[in-house]
Amino acid sequence: MEDKLSAATSGWEKTDLEASIEALDRYNATLNQTGANKLDCTALTGSVPPLLIGGLKVRVTPDVTIAKDDPKALDPRVGAVVTMIAKGESSGTKRAEKAKTAAVLVWLFAEKHLTGRGTPDRKLCFSFDVFDGNLVAAGASIATRINNITAACEEIAHGWSKASPPDDLDG
């Protein structure tokens, strides 16, 4: 990557490569600090159907699924991770809230799409904020967040039902 950086021909290319190097460095550091690199992760390939939340189709696409043997059960516990790489949000509070919401969406994904692989576990459903270096689990207290997500989706779905395309829409 450093070789590509020194060969960059434009300011944009150099900035893009620097950001990529920074993201990879933070990614590796976070994996080592959190122990996430010790989880049994499998890349999620193909497409998955959207979740239906409050009448709205919501696409949640984790980067990897997680499986962890459960000595107390026949089936493993399962979860997933979605990686957040946006650097633009400067407010730590807003970043943390987005990460928590993303982790809850991953939990909803696991409940809907991973039950055939094992028992979904909120402790294994994460959002990974690369630039903050935080691995955020869905956690135990998610009912209010799920209700807020559902209410927001219902409001959007209600608005779409009343919306009409502009006259000049080609389609």
Round to whole Å and give the CA distance between 17 and 23.
10
C-alpha to C-alpha distance for 60 and 108, rounded to whole angstroms: 9
Domain containing 9 equals 1-37
Distance CA 43, CA 81 (A): 10
pLDDT string in tens for the chain (171-residue length) = 566 556 656 777 777 777 777 767 766 676 666 566 667 778 888 888 999 999 999 999 998 888 888 888 888 899 999 988 776 666 678 888 899 999 999 999 999 999 999 999 999 999 988 777 788 889 888 999 999 999 999 999 998 878 787 777 775
Query: Does 167 map to a domain?
Result: no
Q: How far is it, in rounded angstroms, from Cα 125 to Cα 45?
A: 18
Q: What are phi and psi of 82, to 5 degrees?
A: -110, 135
CA distance 71 to 163: 52
What SS3 class is residue 59? coil
Residues 99 and 143 in one domain: yes
- pTM for this one? 0.77
Which residue, chain included where needed, has tokens 């809230």? 97
**Strand 77-84 with 119-129, pairing:** parallel
- How does DSSP assign 2-14, residue by residue? HHHHHT--SHHHH
Residues 83 and 24 in one domain: no
Residue 170, domain member (yes or no): no
Co-location of 51 and 84 in the same domain: yes
